[in-house]
A and B are shown apart, each in its own frame.
Chain A
Amino acid sequence: MTITINHFLVVSFLLFSIGLLGVLVRRNFLTVLMSVELMLNAVNLNLIAFSRRLSDLTGQVFSVFVITIAAGEAAIGLALTISLFRQRRTLNVEDASSMQG
């Protein structure tokens, strides 16, 4: 089975769009954050694939940075979740619509 860069592109794009779908349709805030992690993961996959294709280590280094940032973002996101939960007693994203209008 010969895997070309196109396969990687397709897989990472599908992963990305599944993550995007999760961001758009889930009600639970935590699941939304997890879908964001999925999206970042898909980006990583893409970077590694191209790094391999171009025989350049830059892609892998970038991947490491992406993981780092994802970790920081997850931390902040979860802290926000806790804060939101303490204030509103709900994890439903739709309930946080006081900016309406």
Chain B
Amino acid sequence: MRDLLWLVPAFPLAGFLVNGLVYLFSHRTSGAPHPPADQAAAESSEAAGHPHAHVHLETEPKWKTLHTIVGTGSVALSGIFAFGAILDLGIPALSHGAHHLLTLWRWIPLGVNQATGQVPGPLGEWFVDMALSLDSLSALMIAFVTFVGFLIHVYSVGYMGHDAGYGRYFAYLNLFMFSMLTLVLAANFLLMFVGWEGVGLCSYLLIGYDYHKKFAADAGKKAFVVNRIGDFGFILGIFGVFALFGTLDFGKVFAAAASNPAAYAPWMTLVCLCLFLGAAGKSAQVPLHVWLPDAMAGPTPVSALIHAATMVTAGVYMVARCNVLFRLSPDALLVVAIVGGFTALFAATIGLVQNDIKKVLAYSTVSQLGYMFLACGVGAFVAGMFHVLTHAFFKACLFLGSGSVIHALGGEQDLRRMGGLARKIPVTYATFLTATFAIAGVPLLAGFFSKDAILAAVFEAHFRQAPWLPKLLWMAALFTAGLTAFYMFRLVSLAFYGTFRGTAEQAAHVHESPKSMTVPLIVLAFLSVVGGWIGIPIIRGGDRIGRFLSPIVPALAGARAEEHAAPVSLEVALMAASVAVAMIGLLLAYLWYAKGEGRVPARLAERFPALYRVVANKYYVDEAYDALFVEGLAKSGGRFLWEVDATVVDLIPNGAAAATRGAAWLSHFFDKYFVDGAVNGVADSLQGGFRLLRRAQTGRVQNYALVMGAGLFCIVAVYLIFR
């Protein structure tokens, strides 16, 4: 069974091919037009990604059945073979480091050294195999990726049932599963990168699924471009790994790094930072987080699968996979922890004031991903992966639940127009509430164990460079946990409690979703409850998931796990702190939104208008990027290129002119387009930046004084830290 591991990604690939070809064929012959029959209706509806809002022609039933069976069946088969391979190796064996390498064929067969199995000499290992590797880490990943993926495919049957692009949707979704499973099962960096790019491509295709809508198409482009920036880092990291180790195979690289750390340590920081840039792009960490909220333009099951449970966790998986390298570079781990902690807090504050149900969940995802990176940064890779697992369950449940709400209201996504839905859609409400409690960290639910593991690890971490940092990060993470509980319960209160604030027409049509949508919700809610029980610390550091992952990933960085066992009373105190913070958050949200109908927050927003505006506008990060990069580079660069192009085209017919005319023209060209163009280009890009900076010139001395004071304090703080 283990040698049939290749079927795990192959089934979805086959599903993609079948679905895709059938879709192309059926749309060619049946002549079903792609643009919606009612363009105006499609553009005027504000719901993003909901099929009801732009329904034009439904897929014909016979194709629909085929797409359904192939789409979900391929994932089901993939899951069956995945579990089969895992059970074939055996969970106890995996816990002790069993690892199956399945080499399919030699992919890139260059070079001279091919026979020896050891790490080669200076020429390097110039070949890359198409090889899949099953060990405890990848087993964990494929287990929940296929299972949650299957549930979401089933959900999509109900959700996308009335859409004309049904076949296209399932084709893309299957392609995504193929890419994600390739990424996870890859045994070398290059194959992982293939999967990495594949999931990025599918993210673009699926976010921009409703490509008639401009903002959906733009969101897809934005996701792809921002991801690309991260991929640039990842590629550089891969180059670095190859330059240092001479091979791209995971097993050989990690064995070499572990056996001879001193030889590689000087370069490891640079390589790990490049790799982390890739992870940050894929997993939406600050400053590359901007694509994820916009990605909510895609259909809700896509948001659940790709932007909650699987693709965005690929970054965490990559960092966990390369933990041997990261542990050689404490500075890289410091950066990872700081970025993760900052992102967690930053995104949580934005999530507090969002009014779109999916945007709240999007920022929540960014924040929880920050938690995972924070855990990896302090060396608790197990806690990070544990949170990946529990987050997949409750976040997918939340997204699918939100999709159910949107479906029930016929496309409405604005929380200000919801309310009082608890009695009308009880199954959705119950599962949503369960998942909310799970993410808030209510004791005994899944999120509690994983979040608590992270908080405990952060509190007890040590950073040689900045000894006060772990406590600061712990406080930030604890505060973020409170914020998480608060904004999630705010979401629940605004959507499910109180009086309904929508239109009468919506109120008349509110209905519970079909079984194909509610059954996955129930399953995921159940997993959100029990999914954390595999991480219960039996003895200190002896939880089941920790032991399962221990051959690949240490529970705590280094051998400090043993000598550093914290007293039980500290553990209990930390647990109590996180529970208390969560309860406060839940209670406060209940008081303000369920009972208080949002009066207190509205008054707060009036009392602090500037602060509210800054947070509600996501700290103007998108505006800053727009002014600096889009306006500055794209506009001036585009104009420059256009002028060069127009000139060259004109040159050919005019080339027969007199030589003096040509020479005169040449110098004129140089002066006008290169010299002036460069000057104008510089001026344009500067102007974009200046327009942004102008807003700092308020003319008020006290504003300047405030900024000066802040700068001075920062300088003194930096001095105090680094003296």
Which residues of A does B touch, CB under 8 Å? 20, 23-25, 32, 93-94, 96-101
Contact = CB atoms under 8 A, between A and B. Distances in A.
17 contacts: A20-B709, A23-B702, A23-B705, A24-B702, A24-B709, A32-B702, A93-B701, A94-B700, A94-B702, A96-B701, A97-B698, A97-B700, A98-B699, A99-B699, A100-B698, A101-B694, A101-B697
Contacts of A32: 702
B697 A99 contact: yes
Counting chain A CB atoms within 10 Å of each CB, which of B694, B697, B702 scores highest?
A: B702
A24 B712 CA distance: 14
Nearest to B709: A20
Given A23-B705, A24-B706, A101 B699 contact: yes
Interface in B665-723: 694, 697-702, 705-706, 709
Contacts of B709: 20, 24
A19 B639 CA distance: 52
Contacts of A101: 694, 697, 699
Counting chain B CB atoms within 10 Å of each CB, which of A93, A94, A96 scores highest?
A: A94
A98 to B, nearest CB: 6
Nearest to A97: B699
A74 to B, nearest CB: 17
Contacts of B694: 101
B699 A100 contact: yes
Interface of B: 694, 697-702, 705-706, 709
Contacts of A25: 702
Contacts of A99: 697, 699
A25 B701 CA distance: 11
Given A23-B702, A25-B702, A96-B700, 17 more contacts: A20-B709, A23-B705, A24-B705, A24-B706, A32-B702, A93-B700, A93-B702, A94-B700, A94-B702, A97-B699, A97-B700, A98-B699, A99-B699, A100-B697, A100-B698, A100-B699, A101-B699
Nearest to A99: B699
A101 B700 CA distance: 10
A50 to B, nearest CB: 17
Q: Is chain B's binding surface mostly helix, strand, loop or mixed?
A: helix
A97 B703 CA distance: 11
A20 B710 CA distance: 11
A24 B697 CA distance: 16
Contacts of B701: 93, 96
A84 to B, nearest CB: 12
A101 B697 CA distance: 5
Contacts of B702: 23-25, 32, 93-94
A91 B701 CA distance: 14
A26 B709 CA distance: 16
A93 B701 CA distance: 8
Contacts of A93: 700-702
A100 B700 CA distance: 7
Nearest to A25: B702
Contacts of B700: 93-94, 96-97, 100
B136 to A, nearest CB: 52
A25 B709 CA distance: 13
A15 to B, nearest CB: 15
A46 to B, nearest CB: 14
A101 B693 CA distance: 10
Nearest to A96: B701
Nearest to B694: A101
Contacts of A98: 699
B206 to A, nearest CB: 45
A26 B289 CA distance: 38
A24 B705 CA distance: 7
Nearest to A23: B705
A94 B699 CA distance: 9
A25 B694 CA distance: 23
A32 B704 CA distance: 14
B397 to A, nearest CB: 46
A29 B610 CA distance: 23
Contacts of B705: 23-24
Contacts of B698: 97, 100
Contacts of B699: 97-101
A23 B708 CA distance: 12
A24 B708 CA distance: 11
A17 to B, nearest CB: 9
Nearest to B697: A101
Contacts of A23: 702, 705
A77 B48 CA distance: 59
Contacts of A24: 702, 705-706, 709
A35 to B, nearest CB: 11
A29 to B, nearest CB: 10
B699 to A, nearest CB: 3
- The 10 A-B pairs of least Cβ separation, nearest first, read A100-B699, A97-B699, A99-B699, A97-B700, A24-B706, A24-B702, A24-B705, A101-B697, A100-B698, A23-B705
B708 to A, nearest CB: 10
A10 to B, nearest CB: 15
A76 to B, nearest CB: 15
A100 B697 CA distance: 6
B611 to A, nearest CB: 15
A94 B704 CA distance: 12
A101 B709 CA distance: 21
B690 to A, nearest CB: 12
